[in-house]
Amino acid sequence: MNPRRWTIKRLLEVTAEYLKTKGIENPRLDAEVLLAQTLGLDRVGLYLRLDQPLTEKELSGYRSLVRRRAAREPLQYITGRQEFWSLAFKVTPDVLIPRPETEVLVEEALRRIPAGAQGMPLRILDLGTGCGAVAVAVAKEREHARVWATDISFGALSVAEENAALHGVAGRITFLPGNLFAPLAGLGLFFHLIVSNPPYVRSDELAELAPEVRDFEPPGALDGGPDGLAIVREILTRAPDYLAPGGWVLVEMAPPQEQAASAFVRGLGAYEEPVHIKDYQDRFRVLGAQKA
């Protein structure tokens, strides 16, 4: 077909219809985001040019992005970006795409880091940092904080390092490759706060996740073992060895894990009574425990 017949308006309509047939949740929005990316515009820019025809090259570039989305590749891996805490983060298939509910983890972390406190810098540890969203957001909000961030994936750490540089906090975050606390062995560091969004999906639930998650996001960032709590337990068990007196550990998990995780914390006898924090949809999401 003559590409000059394809205006932005018509192309968006047809593409949204097509993506809808592929089971895409927000077909019109995704059609717009991908076209904006192809044309180097923002979405408002598209609306200012609805009658503009596309060149052959623009059309074929757009088609290749739409094909990827139709195959259920997450929009964020196609654009390479996800906003979190109002900051633009680079994302690649090496990292879990930051979720809005994880902003609750940042909020609760900030609540426990006094703003503007001078003197001794606060030390914060982020376990399984992924793209670095939590570590970068916290570092950005608290200039006196020093952050250490670990991840077992080298690919993830390099994305996290880029994000720290992008947001001007690379000088205050130390990225360490390795599983959870392993890279800290022998460093003699104690933290005021330990945060983590670990893998917490039950292994038997992985196959039932949306294709975007199941087929594209790193399984190592999702799989929490038979009950989803394998890594959560490991973190809660070992955190007291790395916490300063009165320090807090904050761990994100799935709503149905609330009681099991809470009972586990009590059983450890190393913490005060745990606190249960809800996400923006009013579901339990983060367990907090202060070292006794």
Residue numbers at the binding site for ligand GLN (CB under 6 A):
99, 197-201, 213, 222
Least distance CB 114 / ligand GLN (angstroms): 28
Determine the Cα–Cα distance for residues 284 and 100; give it in Å rounded to an integer. 14
Burial 130-141 (b: 16+ CB within 10 A, else e): bbbbbbbbbbbb
Backbone angles phi, psi at 135, to 5 degrees: -60, -45
Residue 20 CB, shortest distance to ligand GLN, in Å, is 23
Measured distance CA(88)–CA(143) in Å, rounded: 19
Toward ligand GLN, which CB reaches closer, 66 or 222?
A: 222
* Residue showing the smallest CB distance to ligand GLN in the complex: 200
228 vs 247 by CB, closer to ligand GLN: 228
Q: How far is the CB of 156 from ligand GLN (least distance, A)?
A: 13
Minimum distance, C-beta of residue 199 to ligand GLN, in the bound complex (Å): 5
Our CB check for ligand GLN shows the closer of 15 and 257 to be 257
Q: Whose Cβ is closer to ligand GLN: residue 62's or residue 200's?
A: 200
Measured distance CA(94)–CA(255) in Å, rounded: 25
Select 90 or 214, whichever has its Cβ closest to ligand GLN: 214
Closest approach of Cβ 92 to ligand GLN, in Å? 17
Least separation in angstroms between CB 53 and ligand GLN? 40
Closest CB 79 distance from ligand GLN, rounded Å: 19
Q: CB-wise, 46 or 249, nearer to ligand GLN?
A: 249
Nearest approach in angstroms of CB 68 to ligand GLN is 20
**Beta carbon nearer to ligand GLN, 35 or 136:** 136
| Strand pairing report for 243-252 and 284-290 | antiparallel
Is the Cβ of residue 61 or residue 218 nearer to ligand GLN in the bound state?
218
Cα 220 from chain centre? 14
Distance, in Å, from the CA atom of 290 to the CA atom of 270, rounded to the nearest integer, reads: 9
